[in-house]
Chains A and B, each alone.
Chain A
Amino acid sequence: MTIEPHGANDLPEHKPRRADVDPRAAKRAERQVGFMFLASGLASAAFIVAYIATPIDDTIPLPGFGTTNASNLFLGISMGLALFLIGAAAIHWAKKLMPDVEIIQERSAESSPDDERGALLDEYRRGVDESTVKRRPFILGSMVAALGLAGLPAIVLLRDLGPLPGTVLRETMWEPGMHILIAETQQKIRPEDMEVGTLVSAVPEGIELVMEEEGNLNALAKAAVMLIRMDPNEIVADQTPEGQEPWTYQGIMCYSKICTHVGCPLGLYEQLTHHMLCPCHQSTFDLADAGNVIFGPAARSLPQLAITVDEDGYLVAREGFAEPVGPSFWERG
C-alpha cells in the first residue's frame, strides 16, 4: 500500500465491537446503560431523602479524616452519583451501541470565491458612494468627533466613584499624647507591663469611636502598630533623627504593623533575632536595627512611632508617624 505524501488514505479497517456481532453483548450493554440511568434516579431520590432527613448540624466520622457534616456529605455524594451516572450511562451508550464507524466529511472552502469577494467589495463601494461621504468630508469629520465625544460622559460619570486622594494616605490617627491600647482588649499599657521579648498588637486610643463614626475600618488599616520590648543593649539603631529625644522608650519600640511592600499586616516576630516577617511575601525587617529590610521584596523600613509615657506612666505616642505608613504610592516621594 502506498501512502499519499501527507497521510491521506483510506480509513483503517473497522473492527466490529462485541456488541456489533454478539446480540448477547449488545443486550448486556443495554442493561448496563439502563441500570446506570435507574441508579441515577435512585440517587436523586436519595438526595431528597438526605435533604429532609439529615439535620443540618449532624456530624459523621470520615474514617481516617476526622468528622464531617453529614448533610453535606450525603447531599454531595447523592448529587454526585445522580449526575455522574447519567453521564456515564450516556457515554457508555454512545460507545457500545451507537455506530462507531468513522465518517469522512469534507471541509468546506475556507474563503469565498474571488467573484463573490469582488461582488461584496462592489456593493460596499456603491454604499460609500451613495452616502456621499466622499464628497462631503465635513459630515465624516464631524461624525467621528461626535462619536468620540459621546464616549466621554461615560468616563466622566465614574468620577464620583471615590474622593480624590488628597493627603490622607500620609496621615494616620496617631497624635501626640494618644494612649497606645492593646488591640482587642483595649487596655492601656505601662512599660513595666512588658518584659523583654513581649510583643503587643496595639491601636490608638479612640479608634473604636472613629471607626464607628466613619462606619468603616479605614483607620485601623493605617494606624495599627506593634509594641516590642528588647534589651536596650541589643538595639543597634532606631529611627530617631539626629538631635531629637529618642523614639524608643526603655527598650520599647513601636512600629507600624502594615508592611511597606503591599500592605499586609505583620506580626511574625522572632524575639531572639528581632526579625519581623511578613507572611504574604516574606519581607523581613530587623526591628533592632531601625526596622530595616533584611530580606524580601519590601524596599522601605517599617516606620517607627515615637513613644513616651504620660504622667500616669502609660505608654503614649509622642507624635504622629513622621512618614506615610503602608505600601508606596506614586506621589509618596
Chain B
Amino acid sequence: MSTSKVEQAGGAGYRWVDDRLPAAKYLKKQLGKVFPDHWSFMLGEIALYSFIILLLSGTFLSLWFKPSMLEVVYDGSYLPLNGVKMSEAFASTLDISFDIRGGLLMRQIHHWAALFFVAAISVHLLRVFFTGAFRKPRETNWIIGVGLLTLALLEGFAGYSLPDDLLSGTGLRIAQGIMLSLPVVGTYMSFFVFGGEFPGTDFIPRLYTVHVLLVPGIILALITVHLMLVWFQKHTQFPGMGRTERNVVGYPLFPVYTAKAGGFFFVVFGVTAFMGGLFQINPIWLYGPYIPDQITAGAQPDWYIGWLEGALRLMPNIEIVLFGQWNLSLNVLFPAVILPGIIFTLMALYPFIEQWATGDKSSHHLLDRPRNAPTRTALGAMGLSFYLLLWTQGGNDLIASTFDVNVFVITWFMRFAIFIVPPLVFVITKRICFGLQRRDRDKLLHGYESGVIKRLPSGKYYEQHQPIGDEERAVILARHEAPQPLPIPAKHDANGIKQKGYAIKLLQAKLSHFFYDERLPIPTAAEIEEANHHEAEITADRDHEIDDARTKAFAPHE
C-alpha cells in the first residue's frame, strides 16, 4: 500500500518543522502517550473549552463594546429605551444585542460559556477532591486549580458588571460597599479603585482592562502550567484490573484522544451555541441602564456569586464602633471578606492538612473511591452542604415569591441550618461510607446475592451467593489499609520536662484520630480464601442435598 496523501502532507510538514526544531524523539513519545478513560476526567476539559469559547466570543464582543461611562442618549433599534440617557457601555451593549447580526448570539454564548466555565471548574474540583487526586505529587496543581477558581469568580463578576445595566451597577454598588467595610484601608481602596466616589466615570474602563487583559492573561498562564503538570505527572486513574500505582491504562493521545478530546471541544462549543440561540440570558434591555437611585426586586448575581450573596443575607447585623471613632462592619466584613478568605485558604491548604494529619508521605496515582476515605468524603460533603445552604439563601427572595413562603422565615431557618445541617451531613456521609465499605467486604468474603432463591428439601429457603467478578474484586481490593492514628503525645517527657512543640504534636495526633479512629480492615488474602472456600462448601452441601432429594423423588418406586 502506498502512502496516502494525508501521510505525505503530514510528513512534509513535519520535516519542515524538524529541520528547524529537532523534536522527533520527544514527539514520538508524546503522540503515543496514554490517557485513562473516565467521564469524570472530562469535567476539567469542559472548563478549558469554555475558556477558549470565552476568548473567541469575547474578542468578537470587544470589537463593538465601548467601555465608557460617558453619558449618551440612546437612539438604536430597541424602542422602549429610545431617548433614554445611559452610559456608552450600556448603549453599545444594546447595539450589540439589537443592531449587529449575531451580536446577541455572541453575547449570550459569552455569558453561557462564563457560567459553564465556573460550573465546570467547580465540579472538576469536587471530582478531584472526592477521589483524592490532589494527593502527592499533585498538591501544586490543586493550589493552581483553587487559584483558577478564584480568578474565574473575579473574571465572571467583572464581566457581569461591564454592561452597566441596572443589575451590574447594583452588583458594583455592593462590591463598593464591601470595600468600604475593610478596616483602615477600605475607604482609600474604594476611592482609588473607583477614581473617587461611587460610581464615578473611571471604573468601567479600568474594569474592562482587568477583564480582557489582566485576569484572562493570568488565567491563561495558570491553565498552561496546570496542563503541563497534568502532562508530566501523567493522569491519575481509577482502580481496576491491571491498574497499579506504577502504570497508566488507557488509550493513546493520537489518534484516540485527539478525536475524543478534540471532538468534545466542538461538542461543548456546539452546546453553548445552542444555548445562546435557544435560552435568553441577561436581557439587559429589560433591566435598563444603571442609575444609582434605582433598584429592581430580585436583584441577583450570577450563580457563582450566589453563595456570597447568601452569606451577606444570612449575617446578623453586627457592627462595632471601636473607641467611638472606628467603624468595624462585621455584618459586611465577615460574610463577604473573612468567610471566603477562610474557605479559600482552607481549600488551598487541604492537601497539606490531610498529609500532615495522616502522615501519608507517599505518592498516589490510583484514585481513592470516596467510600474508602470516609473522613475526607464526609468533610467534602459537609463543605458542599454549607455551600449549598448559602447558595439557596442567596435566592431566598425568589424562593419566597415563587413558593409563597415568608422570606424572613427562610432566613431564620438558614441561620440555624448553617450550624446544624453540615455536621449532620458529615456524620451521615461517614456512616454511608462505612456502610459501603462493609458491603464491599461482604461481597469479597461471601460473594454477591445472586437473586436465585432455592428451597431445601427441609423446606428452608436460601439465596444463592455468587462470587464477584475479577474486575469488581480488583476495584474493591485496590485500597490502602487505613493507618493507625498517631499516638497522643505525652505532655512531659520521662524527666518531667515539658516537650517542645507539644501543642502542635497534640493537634496533629488529634487530627490523625479524627481521620483514622474508625477503620474497617481490608480482608487478608487468607481470609478471602477461607471465606470463599466456606461459601463454596455450603453451596456444594446444599446442592448435594437438593440433588439427593431430587434423585429420591424421581427414583422408580420399588
Tell me the residues in window 247-269 of chain A with beta carbons closer than 8 Å to chain B beta carbons. Answer: 257, 261-268
B42–chain A nearest beta-carbon distance, Å = 11
Q: Are B277 and A8 in contact (CB under 8 A)?
A: no
* B445 at the A interface (CB under 8 A): no
A1-34 interface bits toward B, Cβ cutoff 8 Å, 1 = contact, 0 = none: 1111111111110000000000000000000000
Q: Are B411 and A282 in contact (CB under 8 A)?
A: yes
Q: Are B250 and A333 in contact (CB under 8 A)?
A: no
* A322 at the B interface (CB under 8 A): no
* A99 at the B interface (CB under 8 A): yes
Pick out which of these stretches binds chain A: B261-269, B449-457, B495-503, B545-553. B261-269
A85 CA to B177 CA, complexed, in Å? 47
A282 CA to B313 CA, complexed, in Å? 7
Of A80, A95, A203, which is in contact with the most chain B CB atoms at under 10 Å from its CB?
A80
Q: Are B326 and A262 in contact (CB under 8 A)?
A: no
B120–chain A nearest beta-carbon distance, Å = 16
Closest to B242 in A: A11
Q: Are B270 and A84 in contact (CB under 8 A)?
A: yes
Closest to B185 in A: A330
Q: Are B329 and A87 in contact (CB under 8 A)?
A: no
* A73 at the B interface (CB under 8 A): yes
B320-345 interface bits toward A, Cβ cutoff 8 Å, 1 = contact, 0 = none: 01001111110110010000000000
B352-396 interface bits toward A, Cβ cutoff 8 Å, 1 = contact, 0 = none: 000000000001011000000000000000000000000000001
B293 partner, pick from A4, A12, A183, A268, beta carbons under 8 A: A183
Q: Which residues of B contact A326 (CB under 8 A)?
A: 177
Q: Which residues of A contact B260 (CB under 8 A)?
A: 90-91, 94-95
Q: Are A331 and B325 in contact (CB under 8 A)?
A: yes
A1 partner, pick from B77, B108, B295, B470, beta carbons under 8 A: B470
A104 CA to B4 CA, complexed, in Å? 30
Tell me the residues in window 61-104 of chain A with beta carbons closer than 8 Å to chain B beta carbons. Answer: 68-69, 71-77, 79-91, 93-95, 98-100, 102-104
A104 CA to B248 CA, complexed, in Å? 6
A260 CA to B77 CA, complexed, in Å? 38
Q: Which residues of B contact A3 (CB under 8 A)?
A: 470, 473-474, 477
Q: Which residues of B contact A261 (CB under 8 A)?
A: 177, 312, 317, 331-332
Tell me the residues in window 68-98 of chain B with beta carbons closer than 8 Å to chain A beta carbons. Answer: 69-71, 77, 98
Closest to A40 in B: B266
Q: Are B69 and A77 in contact (CB under 8 A)?
A: no
- Asked if A329 meets B181 with Cβ closer than 8 Å, knowing A79-B105, A161-B192, A217-B292, the reply is yes
Q: Are A75 and B102 in contact (CB under 8 A)?
A: yes
Q: Are A87 and B263 in contact (CB under 8 A)?
A: yes
Pick out which of these stretches binds chain A: B195-203, B219-227, B504-512. B195-203
- Asked if A7 meets B525 with Cβ closer than 8 Å, knowing A279-B297, A282-B397, the reply is no
Q: Are A87 and B265 in contact (CB under 8 A)?
A: yes
Q: Which residues of A contact B246 (CB under 8 A)?
A: 106-107
- Asked if A283 meets B317 with Cβ closer than 8 Å, knowing A10-B242, A90-B260, the reply is yes
- Asked if A107 meets B202 with Cβ closer than 8 Å, knowing A7-B474, A216-B69, the reply is no
* A237 at the B interface (CB under 8 A): no
- Asked if A107 meets B241 with Cβ closer than 8 Å, knowing A72-B277, A220-B292, the reply is no
A131–chain B nearest beta-carbon distance, Å = 29
* A173 at the B interface (CB under 8 A): no
Q: Are B293 and A224 in contact (CB under 8 A)?
A: yes
* B184 at the A interface (CB under 8 A): yes
* B520 at the A interface (CB under 8 A): no
- The size bracket of the interface on B is 35 or more
* A158 at the B interface (CB under 8 A): yes
Q: Are B251 and A103 in contact (CB under 8 A)?
A: yes
Q: Which residues of A contact B170 (CB under 8 A)?
A: 264, 280
A110 CA to B365 CA, complexed, in Å? 11
Tell me the residues in window 177-231 of chain B with beta carbons closer than 8 Å to chain A beta carbons. Answer: 177-178, 180-188, 190-202
Q: Are B292 and A224 in contact (CB under 8 A)?
A: yes
Q: Are A7 and B325 in contact (CB under 8 A)?
A: no
Pick out which of these stretches binds chain B: A115-123, A162-170, A187-195. A162-170
A330 CA to B325 CA, complexed, in Å? 8
Q: Are A9 and B241 in contact (CB under 8 A)?
A: yes
A155 CA to B280 CA, complexed, in Å? 43
- Asked if A85 meets B270 with Cβ closer than 8 Å, knowing A261-B332, A330-B327, A331-B326, the reply is yes
A267 CA to B309 CA, complexed, in Å? 20
A27 CA to B87 CA, complexed, in Å? 59
B105 partner, pick from A76, A85, A107, beta carbons under 8 A: A76
Q: Are A329 and B180 in contact (CB under 8 A)?
A: yes
Q: Are A6 and B267 in contact (CB under 8 A)?
A: no
Q: Are B202 and A162 in contact (CB under 8 A)?
A: yes
A115 CA to B240 CA, complexed, in Å? 35
Closest to B265 in A: A87
Q: Are A331 and B250 in contact (CB under 8 A)?
A: no
* B315 at the A interface (CB under 8 A): yes
- Asked if A163 meets B191 with Cβ closer than 8 Å, knowing A84-B274, A98-B256, A106-B246, the reply is yes
Q: Are A77 and B274 in contact (CB under 8 A)?
A: yes
Q: Which residues of A contact B259 (CB under 8 A)?
A: 90-91, 93-94, 98
A2 partner, pick from B190, B234, B479, B525, beta carbons under 8 A: B525
Closest to A11 in B: B242
A268 CA to B296 CA, complexed, in Å? 9
B294 partner, pick from A84, A218, A265, A268, beta carbons under 8 A: A265
Q: Which residues of B contact A257 (CB under 8 A)?
A: 293
Question: What are the nearest 8 A-B pairs in CB distance?
Answer: A76-B277, A262-B177, A84-B270, A90-B263, A87-B266, A224-B293, A299-B319, A7-B478
7 residue pairs A–B, Cβ–Cβ below 8 Å: A7-B240, A80-B273, A84-B269, A103-B250, A107-B365, A264-B295, A299-B319
With A162-B193, A169-B187 given, name 10 new contacts (CB 8 A).
A6-B245, A8-B247, A77-B274, A102-B242, A201-B293, A215-B201, A282-B313, A327-B177, A330-B181, A331-B326
Give residues in B with beta carbon < 8 Å to A.
Answer: 32-34, 69-71, 77, 98-102, 104-105, 108-109, 137, 170, 173-174, 176-178, 180-188, 190-202, 234, 239-252, 255-257, 259-260, 262-278, 280, 291-299, 309, 312-319, 321, 324-329, 331-332, 335, 363, 365-366, 396-397, 407-408, 411, 470-471, 473-475, 477-480, 525
